[in-house]
Structure 1
Amino acid sequence: MPKAYVFTRYGGPETEALAEVDRPSPGPGEVLVAVRAAGVNPIDWKVRKGYRRPGETDTRTFPAVFGSEVSGTVEEIGAGVDGFAVGDEVFGNAMAGGYAEYVLLPAAITAHKPAQLSFRDAATLPVAAATAYDGVRQLDLPAGATVLVTGAGGGVGSAALQIARAFGLRAVGVASEGKKDFVESLGAVHVPSGPDLALRVRAVAPDGVDGAYDLVGGEVLAEAATLLTDRTKLVTAGAPAAEVEKVGGARVERARNAAVLDEVAQLVVNGQLDPHVTRTFPLDQAGEALRTVEDGHARGKIVIEVSA
């Protein structure tokens, strides 16, 4: 039977296990993919602890497979699916967990992997890079404008900095002092995180900023808002809608379509976006991969390589 890394109930790492699971069969509008690589994201451990995405109300069925972004090759095609064939190299958003040898993907949120794009890098794009892309697009800033990105040292933040630069924006990234070199290597101005953030940002952007992409929430979001003349140019993927709406901003509106995946893949192929995969782990070490992200010390992206 195929293997997957699962959690058996809500809680901490003690709920996790490598398990044998049934091989799924694609339904209408779905493709079955043999996974080559799976991206690791903070949402993975948050879901294990009981977090539900906005709008989710269903009770989760256990054991539940971790992960939500993968790359691999098409094994089977469900009814009504056009544009894919068995053997196609693809990447996309997993329907029910990506830390697995086989996974179902909705065809509408699945893209063909360019030959120049590695499976490892492709697996990082459906969540982190696509979220970064959606947020920068939503800000809709003109070339030459200055955008502030909080939480700039993580997977979404580092992608947002690079996508902003690709759009001709000046990027200012807020991250810990230990990630200064990393943020600057992405072509952004680094601002150390911590209290009195707004003062440090104004030191490098005396007139404030034209837009802000928050990935932290709380006091960081509140201080970022004070730097903006137009609060509609504040978006967050790090705070609930109610929290950001209080300061005049909005949640990032996720496009969740294959067109965005094609766009971010092309940015990688063109050399404008580097996913910065800093560590990879085999499937049987998925717990260690998840700890690296859950502990908050990951720089760039962590990937689980399922097969060669």
Structure 2
Amino acid sequence: MPKAYVFTRNGGPEVEALAEQEVPVPGPGELLVAVRAAGVNPVDWKLRTGYTRPGSAPQPLPTVFGSEAAGVVEGVGPDVEGFTVGDEVFGNPVTGGYAEYTLLPVAVTAHKPAALSFTDAAVLPVAAATAYDGVRQLAPAPGSTLLVTGAGGGVGTAAVQLARHVGARVVGVASADKKDFVESLGAVHVGSGDGLADRVRAAAPDGIDAIFDLVGGDTLRAVAPLLADPAALVSAGGKPLAVELGGTAVARARTAAVLDEVANLVVTRVLRTHVTGTFPLDEAGAALRAVEDGHTRGKIVIEVAA
């Protein structure tokens, strides 16, 4: 039977396992997809610990990991238009991406351009799309200064590039070991940790016009007061705290149209995916540890053999 990487109960890495599962059956508006690649995101391990997305019910156990995937359509459910068996697609799975087979809802599934690899396509539905939504929401003006916390991670890497593309100056907060990487994206690096606000002031003496927060916590508390207008704070890392500080959460579009747009940005080389590590499905645990440890640059991908 096909394999999938699951968590059997809430907890730490000890609840993870490679398991066999039946091939899922697509329902109305769904595609059965043979997975070729799945992106790894912090939300994956957070869900394992018992975290529940706002407005969502707890997931039934065991649960297959993975919030973004790319692959080939193997079956089409009722009421599906625009897709057929053999199409290469990517999107947000409803039955987990760390698997040989998954289901993708057509509402958040896009056709993969031929010029885009499965590996690159698999990192777009969560990380790149979140960055796209956040930068579009902030709408930084050319010449303005945007502060991005967590600039070396998957969402941050994309956010820096997208903001630079529209002409904004970007100050990127990341650990010291990511300095060269963040600067290679076109941002001014500022090290995280104690004294952060003073370092940001030194890096941006004319002030910060907007903040795209991907970290939350003490980092967000340190930099939020640097804004003249608290409403110019958007967060995907500390949403309740951002609201408390006068900002807002990223308004996720979650549409196929956004996926088409970010794919086009990669194909036209406006956006680089910066996949820095790949793992086979039977090493999914190691892939997840690389992200859970918090030291990853760019994106990690699980590649599934055809």
Question: Do they fold alike, i.e. is TM over 0.5?
Answer: yes
Partners of 1:224 and 1:97 in 2: CA distance? 35
Match of 1:288 in 2: 286
Partners of 2:202 and 2:59 in 1: CA distance? 47
Match of 1:275 in 2: 273
Match of 1:22 in 2: 22
How many angstroms does 1:104 deviate by? Answer: 0.4
- The SS at the match of 1:85 is coil
2:153 and 2:296 in contact (8 A); partners too: yes
Match of 1:53 in 2: 53
Identity of aligned residues (%): 69
Deviations 1:198-231 (A, max 9, x none): 1111112112111100011122112221121111
Alignment-mate amino acid for residue 169 of structure 2: R
Match of 1:264 in 2: 262
Partners of 2:58 and 2:214 in 1: CA distance? 27
Q: Does 1:223 align with 2:246?
A: no
Q: Mind listing any 5+ residue stretches in structure 2 that lack a counterpart?
A: none
Partners of 2:268 and 2:204 in 1: CA distance? 29
How many angstroms does 1:60 deviate by? Answer: 2.3
Partners of 2:167 and 2:206 in 1: CA distance? 19
Where does 1:86-165 land on structure 2 (aligned, <5 Å)?
Answer: 86-165=85-164
Out of 223, 247, 253, the residue aligned to residue 249 of structure 1 is: 247
Partners of 2:274 and 2:218 in 1: CA distance? 28
Alignment-mate amino acid for residue 88 of structure 2: E
Partners of 1:78 and 1:66 in 2: CA distance? 22
Deviations 1:22-53 (A, max 9, x none): 10111111111110000001111110010011
Alignment-mate amino acid for residue 68 of structure 1: S
Partners of 1:76 and 1:277 in 2: CA distance? 29
Alignment-mate amino acid for residue 23 of structure 1: V
Partners of 1:144 and 1:298 in 2: CA distance? 30
Alignment-mate amino acid for residue 259 of structure 1: A
Partners of 2:143 and 2:58 in 1: CA distance? 47
How many angstroms does 1:101 deviate by? Answer: 0.5
- The SS at the match of 1:195 is coil
2:52 and 2:58 in contact (8 A); partners too: no
Equivalent pairs, count: 306
Partners of 1:146 and 1:227 in 2: CA distance? 12
Match of 1:12 in 2: 12
Q: Does 1:31 align with 2:34?
A: no
CA RMSD after TM alignment: 1.0
Alignment-mate amino acid for residue 184 of structure 1: E
- The SS at the match of 2:199 is helix
Where does 1:197-216 land on structure 2 (aligned, <5 Å)?
Answer: 197-216=196-215
Deviations 1:144-179 (A, max 9, x none): 211100011110111110111122211110001100
Match of 1:42 in 2: 42
Match of 1:171 in 2: 170
TM-score (norm 1): 0.97
Partners of 1:169 and 1:259 in 2: CA distance? 24
How many angstroms does 1:274 deviate by? Answer: 1.0
- The SS at the match of 2:152 is coil
Match of 1:79 in 2: 78
- The SS at the match of 2:173 is strand
How many angstroms does 1:264 deviate by? Answer: 0.8
How many angstroms does 1:59 deviate by? Answer: 3.6
Partners of 2:235 and 2:17 in 1: CA distance? 33
Deviates more, 1:119-128 or 1:162-171: 162-171
Partners of 1:227 and 1:82 in 2: CA distance? 49
